[in-house]
């Protein structure tokens, strides 16, 4: 069974991406691997006492919750899905997940307004770089 | 068989004599009054004993001048008879040699002030010649704008800009400021003495180690508490108690966040509350931002109510000598009033969002939420909680037994290390040395501004603006602090304002009640609510929220934060007028 990797979060934009990937998976008879990346880089914004390990654990719990929501969504649409959590920068985590889980395709959500983490040109560059690194076909959905 | 060593009576006498002799030498060396008596009896007599001259040096704002070189020259000579350096309280003491003087000139020199010459009156000269002590009236020195002034000022502005634009990490920016100031002092000062700002020893005197140790101690205490799951448990209890009523959930969460921020730290509180808050909001089918933003606003307001709630309060408390109870008595009631108004405002602002709560999540997701909201280390929480309660008692009674907050924090931290988290290597890793370095560098940078006189100019400017009117002073201070804290980091701002508020507290009639210190606390912390970049809790909450796919835009925050700031600062100001 083919497997599609999709990095996701929990906002409205993520729901649109999840729906598009689930539709693609259904069409191809594939399963979906939902990836949540724990990245505590933003803690550098504060010069205060913070424990990155404790924050990372909390983000991981939140990621599990968001991925469980995504998997419920997949189940409701009749698509098999599994959650996966990695720590570190997004690009490295995507490559690592794609290789470790031997996925057949990687899907990115098309930027939809200010809530998106990337602009479209940035996303296209990232998509091309990952495709080049892993040799796995990438899609912007 | 063991023989007991017994001293003979002769040996005992000798021992007693030696001890008494040592005691006498010690007494003579530490007790000043004995020396003149001996000197009078053994020297040539009172007429040939040298006189002394003492006085005090002040800057134009009445602040004592430390480290000035004071020299006495006699009868038109070029070589000083004696030198002295002014002390921290601005005082100096010149012990002149015996002799007949026709005239005496006192020369005073110090970087960043014009050199001053003082011709002593004949009667004072006669007094000194007779071997008596003379006291001069306080002397005010005139400030001089040196190249060092511009170096210190521009370095500090550069630090603020780099922090605001996030070009450099805060600590790196502050260290760059210190490097510029000290570099110009030593390298530039060797080429042109006017570049000199201060030496390293003087720079270190500006570092407030009470603040450093209090922050460090609290870091260890908070680090232990935060891994127990208490924040998540509290948030889940808020969800359970609210029984699906969003307005009640938001109210309870705001109160919890506010209290936790007052007792621990508002950044930690938001970092640990935000992830579970997002899960709760999603479970109830509402936009997480409509709960997260009210929470962070409450966090910034709640932190004001105690000495340890915000870094600005820690700075203010240490500089002004205000204790835990001072903040509790003088600010907490005002904070409670502001919080009530804030809750009403956000419930009104988000009423449509709350009313439009969507379909909740499945039972499986609710169960997952319950899992996220449990206490993960109950035994650790019991022990850490007990230590923290004892610490709170010490903070409260500390004023009575002269126990400074920094010592209480260190005692608490050591108790945690001995009883709760005994791995010292791990616990030292949780101390954020970067933050401590930031504070040290900041103190030195602000010290440089004090040294070159910029703070005095600001103080004089604000002093003339308020014209000795306490009401105007409160309004100017609170609102300018609130306005500036929204656009620049409130920690460097508060650190810069400390000597300014100190000056106003001494000079504005009625301000001795410390009202202006509380005004600075209210303005600096509540002002942080006005913009997304106004405070650290805002930034870390935005960071967490973005990782859940809900971006808090600058404009979206401003729409809620700005009116919330106006409301809370108005209430804070009214409270100050009522209380003082």
What is d(CA B113, CA B140) in angstroms, rounded to the nearest whole number?
Answer: 10
> In angstroms, what separates the C-alpha of B327 from chain A's closest C-alpha?
22
Cα dist from B421 to B94, B192, B266, whole Å:
55, 54, 23
Residues of chain B with CATH 2.60.40.10: 46-140
User: Could you tell me the CA-to-CA distances from B278 to A65, B170, B262, B263 in Å, in that order?
Assistant: 10, 29, 22, 23
For residue B485, the distance in angstroms to the closest alpha carbon of chain A comes to: 15
Helices (H), B402-469: 405-415, 424-430, 433-452, 454-466
Cβ A69–B361 below 8 Å, yes or no?
A: yes
**Is B70 within 8 Å of B92 (Cβ atoms)?**
yes
What's the mean pLDDT in B535-561? 92
CA dihedral B163, B166, B169, B171 (to 10 degrees): 10
Distance, in angstroms, between B312 CA and closest chain A CA?
12
B367 to chain A: nearest residue by CA? A65
Nearest CA in chain A to B554: A114
CA atoms of B308 and B316, how far apart (whole Å):
11
The predicted-structure confidence for B161-193, as pLDDT tens digits, reads as follows 998 887 888 889 999 999 999 999 999 999 999
C-beta separation of B263 from B308 below 8 A: yes
Cα B112-B113-B116 angle, rounded to 5 deg: 155
pLDDT in tens, B206-234: 999 999 999 999 999 998 998 899 999 99
Q: What is the pLDDT of residues B478-507, one digit of tens each?
A: 999 999 988 888 888 999 999 999 989 998
Q: Is A137 on the interface with B (CB under 8 A)?
A: no
d(CA B99, CA A102): 98
The least confident of A9-13, B373-377, B417-421 is A9-13
Mutation for testing the B interface, residue in A6, A47, A52, A68 having most B CBs under 10 Å: A47
Per residue in B519-546, pLDDT (tens digit) is 999 999 999 999 998 888 998 999 999 9
Phi, psi of B378 (to 5 degrees): -60, -40
Q: Is the CB of residue B117 less than 8 Å from the CB of residue B107?
A: yes
pLDDT-derived band at B19, boundaries 50, 70, 90: low
Nearest residue in A to B372, CA atom: A61
Lowest mean pLDDT among A15-29, A81-95, A108-122, B427-441: A108-122
Which residues 487-526 in chain B show a CB within 8 A of chain A?
Answer: 491
Q: What is the ipTM of this complex?
A: 0.91
Rounded to whole angstroms, how far apart are CA atoms B503 and B498?
A: 9
Contact B366, B283 (CB under 8 A): yes
Query: Among partner residues B276, B364, B548, which is closest to A11 by beta-carbon distance?
Result: B548
Q: What is the pLDDT of residue B410?
A: 95
- The residues with which A138 forms a beta bridge, in sequence order, are A106
A49·B435 Cβ contact <8 A: yes
Which H or E run contains A87?
strand A81-87
DSSP label of B417: I
Residues of B in contact with A58 (CB under 8 A): 232, 271-272, 275-276
89-128 in chain A: CB under 8 A from chain B: 114-115, 117
Q: Considering only CA atoms, which of B60, B179, B70, B55 is closest in space to residue B124?
A: B55
Q: Do A68 and B364 touch (CB under 8 A)?
A: yes
User: Residue B31: what pLDDT?
Assistant: 42
Work out the pLDDT band at A48, boundaries 50, 70, 90: low
Q: What's the whole-number mean pLDDT along residues B29-52? A: 51
Cβ–Cβ < 8 Å for B159, B176: yes
Query: B311, A48: Cβ pair inside 8 Å?
Result: yes
Q: Which of A46, A54, A114 sits opposite B551 (nearest CB)?
A: A114
Q: b/e map of B239-260 (b: 16 or more CB within 10 Å)? A: beebeeebeebbbbbbbbbbbb
Mean pLDDT computed over every residue of chain A? 89
**In this model, does residue B6 exceed pLDDT 70?**
no
Give the CATH number of the domain where residue A33 resides. Answer: 3.40.50.620
Arithmetic mean of pLDDT, A85-93:
93
Structure-token match 């007094």, residue found: B127
Nearest 5°: the CA angle B440, B441, B442 is 90
Return residues 107-166 of B near A (CB < 8 Å): 166
Q: Is A65 on the interface with B (CB under 8 A)?
A: yes
Res B437 pLDDT > 80: yes
Separation between Cα atoms, residue B95 and residue B73, nearest integer Å = 12
Residue B296 touches chain A, beta carbons under 8 Å: no
With H, G, I as helix, E, B as strand and everything else as coil, classify residue B57.
strand
pLDDT of residue B197: 95
> Is B215–A49 a contact, with Cβ atoms under 8 angstroms apart?
yes
The pair of three-digit structure tokens given for residue B448, joined into one six-digit string: 């440089």
Q: Mean pLDDT over all residues of chain B?
A: 89
Nearest-CB residue to A11 (from B364, B365, B550): B550
Sign, Cα dihedral of A22, A26, A28, A30: positive
* Percent of chain A residues topping a pLDDT of 70: 92
Name the nearest CA neighbour of B564 among B487, B493, B505, B482.
B482
Q: Is A50 on the interface with B (CB under 8 A)?
A: yes
Total structural domains within chain A: 1
Q: Shortest Cα distance from B268 to chain A (angstroms)?
A: 6
**Cβ contact (<8 Å) for A50 and B267?**
yes
Q: Which residue in chain A is spatially nearest to B226 when comparing CA positions?
A: A54
Provide the pLDDT for residue B170: 84
Nearest Cβ partner of B553 from A59, A72, A114?
A114
- Does residue B8 or residue B366 have the better pLDDT? B366
List the single residue in B with minimal CA-CA distance to A60.
B275
By C-alpha distance, which of B290, B313, B301, B266 is closest to B540? Answer: B266
Q: What 3-state class would DSSP assign to B109? A: strand
| Longest Cα separation, chain B | 101
Give the domain extent around A87. 3-140
CATH of domain B46-140: 2.60.40.10
| Residue A44 in contact with partner chain B when CB distance is under 8 A | yes
Positive or negative CA dihedral for B479, B480, B482, B483? Answer: positive
The least confident of A49-53, B79-83, B84-88, B462-466 is A49-53
Element (H, E) at B74: strand B69-74
What's the pLDDT at A86? 97
Asked if pLDDT for residue A110 goes beyond 70, the answer is yes
Query: What is the average pLDDT across B119-125?
Result: 93
A60 near B CB under 8 A: no
Percent of chain B clearing pLDDT 90 (strictly above): 72
Higher pLDDT, B54 or B26: B54
Q: Which of B432, B544, B546 sits opposite A48 (nearest CB)?
A: B432
Lowest mean per-residue pLDDT among A17-26, B107-116, B157-166, B571-580: B157-166
DSSP tag of B551: -
Task: Name the residue of chain B whose CA is nearest to A48's CA.
Answer: B435
The pLDDT value recorded for residue A49 is: 59
Res. B45: pLDDT tops 70: no
Enumerate residues 228 to 267 of chain B having a beta carbon within 8 A of any beta carbon in chain A.
Answer: 232, 265, 267
Residue B86: is its pLDDT beyond 90?
A: yes
B25: pLDDT strictly greater than 70: no
What is the tens place of the pLDDT at every residue in B395-423? 999 989 989 999 999 999 999 999 998 88
pLDDT tens profile B99-117: 888 899 999 999 999 999 9
Alpha helices in B31-92 (DSSP H): 34-42
For B233-273, what is each residue's pLDDT tens digit? Answer: 999 999 999 998 999 999 999 999 999 999 988 888 999 99
Per the CB < 8 A criterion, the answer to whether B55 and B89 are in contact is no
**Which residues 352-371 in chain B show a CB within 8 A of chain A?**
361-362, 364-365, 368-369
In whole angstroms, what is the distance from residue A41 CA to residue B539 CA? 12
Q: Can you tell me which residue has the tokens 């001494």?
A: B506
Q: List the single residue in A39, A51, A115 with the smallest CB-CB distance to B549.
A: A115
Cβ neighbours of A13 in B, within 8 Å? 549
Cβ contact, residue pair A50, B268, below 8 Å: yes
Give pTM, 2 decimals: 0.84
| Residue B227 near chain A (CB below 8 Å) | yes
Q: Which residues contact B411 (CB under 8 A, 6 or more apart)?
A: B217, B391, B394
Other C-beta atoms lying within 10 Å of the C-beta of residue B6: 7
pLDDT band at B21 (very low <50, low <70, confident <90, very high): low
**Which long-range contacts link B243-247 to residues 24+ away (Cβ below 8 Å)?**
B244/B284, B244/B360, B246/B284, B246/B286, B246/B354, B246/B357, B247/B347, B247/B354
pLDDT of residue A69: 93
B22 CB neighbour count, 10 Å cutoff: 10
The Cα of B547 is separated from the nearest Cα of chain A by a number of Å equal to 7
The nearest CA of chain B is from the CA of A109 a distance in Å of: 12
Q: Report, as an integer, the average pLDDT of B331-358.
A: 94
pLDDT tens, position by position, B286-333: 999 999 999 999 999 999 999 999 999 999 999 999 999 999 999 999
CB-CB contact of B184 with B148 (8 Å): yes
Using pLDDT thresholds of 50, 70 and 90, give the confidence band for residue B27: very low
Asked whether the predicted pLDDT for residue A65 surpasses 80, the reply is yes
**Closest by alpha carbon to B293, among B319, B265, B273, B320?**
B273
Q: Which of A14, A17, A50 to mutate to test the interface with B (most CBs of B within 10 A)?
A: A50
Identify any residues that bridge with B106 across adjacent strands, giving them in sequence order.
B72, B118
Q: How far is CA B401 from the centre of its chain?
A: 21
- Per-position DSSP letters for B116-182, written without gaps between them: EEEEPPHHHHHHHHTT-EEEPPPEEPPB---HHHHHHHHHHHHHHHHHHTTSS-HHHHHHHHHHHHH
Q: Which chain A residues are Cβ-neighbours of B551 within 8 angstroms?
A: 11, 114-115
Residue whose pair of structure tokens reads 């996966």 in the numeric block: A84
The owner of tokens 């968001």 is: A66
Helices and strands (H, E) in chain A, number of each type: 4, 5
pLDDT of residue A47: 57
pLDDT at A52: 86
- Predicted local confidence at residue B72, as pLDDT: 95
By C-alpha distance, the chain B residue nearest A54 is B227
The answer to whether B361 contacts A42, with C-beta atoms less than 8 Å apart, is: no
């Amino acid at each position: 069974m083919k497997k599609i990797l999709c990095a996701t979060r929990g906002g409205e934009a993520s729901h649109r991406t999840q729906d598009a990937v689930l539709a693609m998976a259904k069409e191809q008879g594939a399963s979906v691997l939902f990836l949540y990346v724990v990245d505590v880089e933003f803690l550098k914004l504060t010069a205060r006492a913070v424990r990155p390990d404790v924050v990372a654990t909390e983000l991981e719990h939140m990621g599990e919750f968001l991925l469980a929501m995504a998997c419920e969504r997949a189940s409701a649409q009749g698509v098999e899905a599994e959650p996966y959590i990695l720590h570190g920068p997004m690009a490295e985590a995507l490559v690592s997940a794609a290789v470790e889980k031997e996925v057949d395709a990687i899907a990115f959500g098309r930027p939809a307004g200010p809530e998106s983490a990337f602009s479209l040109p940035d996303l296209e560059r990232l998509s091309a770089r990952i495709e080049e690194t892993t040799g796995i076909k990438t899609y912007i959905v | 068989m063991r023989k007991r060593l017994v001293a003979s009576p002769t040996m005992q006498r000798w021992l007693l004599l030696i001890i008494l002799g040592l005691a006498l030498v010690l007494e003579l060396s530490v007790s000043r009054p004995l020396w003149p008596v001996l000197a009078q009896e053994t020297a040539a007599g009172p007429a040939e004993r040298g006189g002394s001259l003492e006085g005090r040096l002040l800057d134009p704002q009445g602040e004592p001048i430390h480290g000035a070189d004071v020299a006495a020259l006699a009868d038109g000579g070029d070589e000083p008879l004696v030198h002295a350096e002014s002390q921290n309280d601005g005082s100096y003491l010149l012990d002149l040699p015996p002799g007949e003087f026709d005239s005496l000139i006192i020369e005073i020199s110090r970087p960043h002030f014009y050199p001053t010459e003082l011709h002593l009156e004949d009667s004072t000269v006669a007094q000194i010649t007779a071997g008596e002590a003379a006291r001069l009236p306080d002397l005010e020195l005139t400030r001089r704008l040196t190249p060092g002034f511009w170096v210190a000022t521009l370095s500090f502005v550069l630090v603020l800009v780099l922090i605001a634009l996030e070009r450099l990490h805060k600590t790196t920016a502050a260290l760059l400021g210190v490097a510029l100031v000290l570099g110009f002092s030593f390298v530039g000062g060797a080429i042109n003495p006017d570049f000199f700002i201060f030496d390293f020893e003087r720079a270190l005197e500006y570092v407030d180690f009470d603040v450093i140790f209090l922050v460090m101690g609290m870091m260890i205490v908070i680090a232990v508490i935060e891994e127990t799951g208490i924040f998540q448990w509290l948030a889940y209890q808020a969800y359970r108690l609210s029984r699906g009523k969003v307005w009640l959930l938001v109210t309870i969460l705001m109160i919890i966040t506010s209290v936790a921020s007052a007792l621990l730290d508002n950044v930690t509180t938001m970092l640990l509350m935000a992830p579970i808050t997002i899960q709760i909001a999603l479970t109830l089918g509402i936009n997480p931002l409509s709960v997260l933003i009210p929470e962070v606003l409450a966090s910034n307001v709640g932190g004001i109510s105690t000495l340890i709630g915000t870094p600005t309060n820690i700075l203010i408390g240490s500089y002004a000598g205000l204790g835990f109870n001072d903040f509790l008595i003088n600010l907490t009631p005002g904070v409670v009033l502001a919080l009530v108004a804030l809750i009403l405002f956000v419930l009104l602002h988000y009423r449509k969002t709350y009313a439009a709560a969507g379909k909740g999540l499945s039972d499986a997701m609710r169960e997952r939420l319950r899992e996220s909201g449990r206490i993960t280390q109950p035994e650790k929480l019991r022990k850490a909680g007990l230590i923290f309660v004892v610490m709170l008692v010490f903070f409260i009674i500390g004023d009575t037994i002269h126990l400074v907050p920094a010592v209480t924090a260190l005692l608490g931290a050591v108790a945690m290390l001995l009883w709760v988290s005994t791995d010292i290597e791990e616990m030292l890793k949780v101390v954020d040395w970067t933050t401590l370095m930031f504070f040290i560098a900041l103190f030195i940078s602000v010290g440089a501004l004090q040294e070159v006189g910029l703070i005095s100019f600001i103080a004089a400017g604000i002093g003339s603006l308020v014209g000795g009117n306490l009401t105007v002073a409160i309004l100017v201070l609170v609102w300018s602090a609130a306005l500036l804290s929204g656009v620049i980091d409130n920690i460097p701002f508060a650190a810069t304002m400390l000597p300014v508020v100190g000056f106003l507290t001494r000079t504005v009639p009625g301000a001795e009640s410390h009202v202006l210190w509380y005004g600075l606390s209210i303005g600096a912390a509540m002002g942080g609510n006005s913009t997304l970049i106004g405070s650290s809790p805002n930034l870390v909450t935005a960071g967490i929220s973005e990782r859940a796919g809900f971006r808090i835009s600058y404009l979206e925050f401003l729409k809620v934060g700005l009116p919330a700031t106006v409301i809370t600062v108005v209430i804070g100001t009214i409270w100050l007028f009522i209380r003082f």
